[in-house]
Amino acid sequence: MSATEKAKAKAEQMVGKVVQKTAHMRGKKTTEAKGAALGLRGKARERKEKVKDAFKH
């Protein structure tokens, strides 16, 4: 996995968690769901890169 793609995936996951936790504390359900979706998108990006690496070798 390229270092930049790995960093992007981890950053998306972290931002998603922060948004989700902040929205939860404020009681904003829609924003909380958006944060969860952002975190999932980061996880999907990370898995995609791992699959690409598996086929590369």
Instruction: Name which of 21, 18, 14 is nearest 42 in CA terms.
Output: 14
Contact between 46 and 26 (Cβ < 8 Å): no
pTM of the model: 0.82
Q: What is the pLDDT of residue 1?
A: 57
Identify the pLDDT of residue 54. 86
Extract the residue ranges of the chain whose pLDDT is less than 50. Answer: none
